[in-house]
Structure 1
């Protein structure tokens, strides 16, 4: 049995993982989704990492799963956890370089140009809106429920650098929702190759894949552990 520790993206709502958690538990594993104070103007990446490390405690078989901006928190968790992390899985993630801030990541990766180019190729709006870029494949009832859990991410989290030297020498997987409009598939593949030397694993779904395709995501995470 492993413990899946699930880190949400911007806003920090553990609710984001609520459709994946029971699937991991049904397979016989422990699963924890950490709620982060994304709307707290005084709590940034270091505070987030402290909360995740506290959730891990003394567990010694941990698979860390980070969604989107959660990858920045994961970087710090790897350096602070009391016992080594067993495995890392990034999901539609902002994979950082050592010392990078989340605010710098956008320009460093060429994200805006990649997003707009993908929109033009596929025929949806270049101008960002939640319905087009985040909710296009999320079931309507789930999206409606999620409105109560939305939080704005505070600026401090975008300005604190990811103070880590290197990713740990453990299996690292990069999961991409092939229908992600916010971080297009080809963009994610390039970033994973450049920053980690990794190829991607694709599943159906957009940026909020844990809400739109929880079973496919859970099955892939379970397959990683089974390996």
Structure 2
């Protein structure tokens, strides 16, 4: 069994993963889902990775999963700890030395055909049950951007098996955009599931099943059908 290290996105908290954690534990896995110091103006990506590393403690057999901006933290944890696999779920995919602020221009985000949504629920939680979406908004944290222009401390993508999972109905990272970025930056063709940007809330059992299947894989970048 594995220890799943679950990293949330910008302005969020570890609670985001609570339904997936329950499903993974049913399957015999351990989980840890720390709160990142998103609202701390003194914290940058290194401090985010510090928070994750501290939460992991002496756990072993690590599978590190990041959602959305958590993708910027995933490889930093992979550099610091002996990990079994890195998994990016509807996530940003950084290059070494690239700042979070520069990511959007560097990946050509504005050039993609996508619709803009001013409503937080419509953008992030369109397929999440309304009560759960409201709870997610209530629990959300302020996202500091004070240090988001600093270069990432990432030196190189860790030499660790890596998976990318996109959501076909994602309104923040449209599928065509994320397919291209994953291919250009990691040479990986993403696996795909239905749903919006926050599958840990909209499809927790299905997502946990996929993560469980990924953890069982041993061959780098081997394709797994998530259905």
**TM-score, L = length of structure 2:** 0.91
Distance 2:31 2:215 in 1: 13
2:96 to 95, 98, 108: 98
Structure 1 window deviating more from structure 2 (14-23 vs 70-79): it is 70-79
Deviation at 1:208, TM superposition (A): 1.1
Which residue pairs with 1:72 in the alignment?
72
Q: Do 1:204 and 1:216's aligned partners in 2 also have CA atoms closer than 8 Å?
A: no
Structure 1 window deviating more from structure 2 (153-162 vs 86-95): it is 153-162
Q: Do 2:10 and 2:69's aligned partners in 1 also have CA atoms closer than 8 Å?
A: yes
Which residue pairs with 1:122 in the alignment?
none
Q: Displaced runs of 4+ in structure 1, greater than 6 A?
A: none
2:139 to 139, 144, 149: 149
Unaligned regions of 5+ residues in structure 1, if any? 120-125
Distance 1:113 1:138 in 2: 28
Deviation at 1:132, TM superposition (A): 2.3
Q: Do 1:44 and 1:157's aligned partners in 2 also have CA atoms closer than 8 Å?
A: yes
Which residue pairs with 1:212 in the alignment?
202
**TM-score, L = length of structure 1:** 0.91
Distance 2:121 2:25 in 1: 31
Distance 2:150 2:74 in 1: 14
SS in 2 for 1:10: coil
Which residue pairs with 1:55 in the alignment?
55
Unaligned regions of 5+ residues in structure 2, if any? 218-227
Structure 1 window deviating more from structure 2 (154-163 vs 183-192): it is 154-163
Deviation at 1:187, TM superposition (A): 0.5
**Structure 1 or 2: more helix by fraction:** 1
Q: What aligned pairs does 1:55-204 form with structure 2 within 5 A after superposition?
A: 55-81=55-81, 84-114=82-112, 117-119=113-115, 126-204=116-194
Which residue pairs with 1:123 in the alignment?
none
Distance 2:118 2:92 in 1: 18
